[in-house]
Amino acid sequence: MHVNIDSEEDVKIAKDQNLDSYRFSISWPRILPKGKLSGGINHEGIAYYNNLINELLHKGVKPFVTLFHWDVPQALEDEYGGFLSSQIIDDFQDYADLCFKEFGNKVKQWVTLNEPYQFTTGGYVNGVSAPGRCSDTTCLGGNSGTEPYKVAHNLILAHAKVVQVYKTKYQKHQYGHIGITLNTNWYIPYGENIIPDKKAAERALDFQFGWFMEPLTNGDYSKSMRAIVKSRLPTFTDLQSKEVNGSFDFIGINYYTSNYVKNTPPQENAKPSFKTDSMTELSFDKNGIPLGPRAAAFWLYIYPKGLRDLLLYTKDKYNNPAIYITENGMNEVNDPTLSVEEALLDTYRIDYYYRHFYYIHSAIK
């Protein structure tokens, strides 16, 4: 469960549903309004989260806490451009250190970043989320061919520094674990026996899931990203590579949907962009047949088998890491004609989760 506003009522609902954990994020600017320790600590913010954590533990629910869910302090965005600058790494480290100090004796599951891929592409490729940067004229500024790679690089380095702080200063006496949450689709070659489509599906994974998993497990970006993006892709120093490699106790996976993938040739004389770098064309249908029923969201086609395939892929390719499914779900089209009682007969969603659990179980077996 992820929420932005928590209350005793929320905690009671979690307990009444027999949940054993409750996932929420701490707001960086709520703790440090200026983004830095030197700008002062908001002790009311710390008290708020302590009260929430205490209430959860009182009800027997374990807090599962994310440090960054995209809310860069505006002061740091104004000062040096947020995650476009490597300056943010030290400030994020200080913020995380403060959280470990204040809450770590009670929190045993920490997530450094939630969906860095979505933060990066939404904010620096498409410009649909903060800070709204991209190459298109719809954005006030940005470069979709270079900025996403800079931002992702700084996110990875910031993550690694925070994990290092936790492991060296806190883990031995707080007895917790720390990881990162990544979102990814599963990708299916449009032509099952067409080699270019198979390679395109591999690239699609490299440019989403592998963008972060490769450095976290091998200390560098994938060979396909290096070959395609070339000088636009930042490099790790030897020390950074060592710090990044293995910088997690677990991986959180957010899975919602899958895509068919076709290979597309590189566009000659086109302005470089993350949108086209992977040389893939994504779709939800094959020969007019969708890969699954569509939920209310235009991008969410239900394909439970993709979660099993993703879990097995992660096990085989990335050294069998400990995994939490941190997000999975669907929405329905609102039907105002239903009574409350009828709406609560949530059979569609029950079936959704049943089928996803089935494929999770088959992956474990």
| Tens digit of each residue's pLDDT (9 = 90 or more) over 30-50 | 999 999 999 999 999 999 999
DSSP letters, 69-130, are SS---HHHHHHH-GGGSTTHHHHHHHHHHHHHHHHTTT--EEEEEE-HHHHHHHHHTS--ST
| Alpha carbon distance 97, 91 (integer Å) | 10
Q: In CATH, which superfamily holds the domain spanning 108-364? A: Glycosidases (3.20.20.80)
Among residues 18, 17, 39, which one has the least CA distance to residue 29?
Answer: 39
Measured CA angle at 278 (ends 273, 282), to 5 deg: 105
Q: Which two tokens stand for residue 5?
A: 């506003």
Mean pLDDT of 266-275: 90
Give, as one character, the DSSP assignment of residue 209: T
Cis previous bond, 131, omega within 30: yes
pTM of the prediction? 0.96
Q: What is the pLDDT of residues 276-313, one digit of tens each?
A: 999 999 999 999 999 999 999 999 999 999 999 999 99
| Alpha carbon distance 180, 200 (integer Å) | 26
Give, as one character, the DSSP assignment of residue 139: S
Q: Where do the structural domains in the chain lie, given as residue ranges?
A: 108-364
| pLDDT greater than 90 at residue 351 | yes
Give, as one character, the DSSP assignment of residue 301: B
Catalytic-role residue among 9, 327, 341, 342? 327
268 confidence band (pLDDT: 50, 70, 90):
confident
Give, as one character, the DSSP assignment of residue 294: B
Mean pLDDT of 7-17: 89
| Alpha carbon distance 157, 90 (integer Å) | 10
Active site residue 8: no
H helices of 166-304, in order, are 171-174, 195-207, 210-218, 223-229, 238-244, 274-277
| Alpha carbon distance 25, 48 (integer Å) | 12
Phi and psi at 156, nearest 5°, equal: -65, -45
124 confidence band (pLDDT: 50, 70, 90):
very high
Amino acid identity for residue 73 in this structure: P
2 confidence band (pLDDT: 50, 70, 90):
very low
5 confidence band (pLDDT: 50, 70, 90):
low
